[in-house]
């Protein structure tokens, strides 16, 4: 554009960048070119979570970082900060990052829980989860258990142990039902002379020695 000759303070401004100014002198019938390389404004995001180890996402894109994470030299502006950790609800917060500032975001993650319903026939079997006794006997309702995969084992005297692998999901009840197999053996009852009636625990079996 045609401008009167003379001296000018030329300034350019762009969101997220430092303003830049240069003094130029315009002469008659000349074209004075002014070029700026703008400097981006940067800050630091400090992303924390309890528990740690959650994946960090900025505006829906994975950063490759895990909490607790320091993300330096991030362009100023507004960010949707999301953290995700297996077994916990995702958490999101909107933060505004300013030039040369450190913006700290801290999340307390909520564990995802479900219910295990452990039944057996006969009942009264001890319940084990991943090899650890729960202190419960079937039929048992185990509430507020963290989601994930469990080796569920039940033990009852006189019966074979039984195990099943189950996957528990958030807010669901996973039912596991066992039909226990009784452990058996053979009694050989002899007498001299033979032909005596046999009783077990005071109850007649209907058998005679030596059968």
pLDDT tens-place string over residues 37-46:
999 999 999 9
Residue 118: domain span = 113-179
The per-residue pLDDT for 211 is 73
- Does the pLDDT value for residue 52 go beyond 90? yes
How many structural domains comprise the chain?
4
Are 2 and 18 part of one and the same domain?
yes
Are 122 and 172 part of one and the same domain?
yes
Mean pLDDT, residues 15-30 taken together: 92
The per-residue pLDDT for 210 is 87
Q: What is the mean pLDDT of the chain?
A: 95
- Does the pLDDT value for residue 2 go beyond 90? no
Are 150 and 129 part of one and the same domain?
yes
Are 172 and 119 part of one and the same domain?
yes
pLDDT digits (tens, 9 = 90+) for 75-85: 999 999 999 99
- Does the pLDDT value for residue 178 go beyond 80? yes
Q: What is the CATH number of the domain that holds 91?
A: 2.60.40.10
Are 92 and 145 part of one and the same domain?
no
What percent of the chain lies above the pLDDT cut of 90?
95
Are 167 and 138 part of one and the same domain?
yes
Which residues contact residue 94 at a Cβ distance below 8 angstroms, ignoring those fewer than 6 apart?
A: 78, 79, 80, 81
pLDDT digits (tens, 9 = 90+) for 138-155: 999 999 999 999 999 999
DSSP string, 20-35: EEEEEEE-TT------
Closest CA to 105 of 48, 44, 42: 48
Paired with 50 in beta bridges are 108
> Quick one: tokens of 60?
């829906």
Residue at a domain's end among 108, 128, 147: 108
Are 36 and 46 part of one and the same domain?
no
Mean pLDDT, residues 170-189 taken together: 95
pLDDT digits (tens, 9 = 90+) for 128-141: 999 999 999 999 99
Are 97 and 49 part of one and the same domain?
yes
- Does the pLDDT value for residue 181 go beyond 90? yes
Query: Could you give phi then psi for residue 26, rounded to 5 degrees?
Result: -100, 125
The per-residue pLDDT for 183 is 96
Are 127 and 104 part of one and the same domain?
no
If phi > 0 it is left, if psi is from -120 to 50 it is alpha, else beta; for residue 145 that is: beta
Are 80 and 23 part of one and the same domain?
no
Alpha carbons 40 and 147: distance in angstroms, whole number:
44
Are 36 and 50 part of one and the same domain?
no
Are 160 and 189 part of one and the same domain?
no
For residue 157, give the DSSP letter. T
What percent of the chain lies above the pLDDT cut of 70?
100
């Amino acid at each position: 554009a045609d401008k009167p000759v003379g001296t000018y303070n030329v300034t350019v401004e762009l969101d997220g960048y430092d303003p830049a100014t240069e003094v130029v002198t315009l002469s008659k019938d000349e074209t004075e070119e002014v070029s700026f390389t703008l400097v981006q404004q940067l800050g630091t995001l400090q992303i924390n979570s309890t528990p740690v180890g959650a994946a960090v996402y900025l505006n829906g894109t994975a950063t490759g970082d895990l909490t607790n994470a320091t993300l330096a030299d991030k362009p100023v502006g507004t960010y949707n900060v999301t953290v995700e950790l297996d077994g916990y609800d995702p958490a999101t917060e909107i933060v505004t990052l300013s030039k040369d500032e450190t913006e700290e975001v801290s999340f307390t993650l909520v564990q995802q829980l479900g219910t295990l319903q452990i039944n057996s026939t006969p009942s009264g079997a001890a319940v084990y989860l991943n090899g650890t006794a729960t202190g419960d006997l079937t039929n048992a309702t185990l509430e507020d258990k963290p989601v994930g995969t469990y080796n569920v084992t039940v033990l009852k005297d006189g019966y074979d142990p039984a195990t099943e692998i189950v996957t528990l999901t958030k807010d669901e009840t996973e039912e596991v039902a066992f039909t226990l197999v009784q452990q058996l053996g053979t009694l050989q009852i002899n007498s001299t002379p033979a032909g005596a009636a046999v009783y077990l625990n005071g109850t007649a079996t209907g058998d005679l020695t030596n059968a």
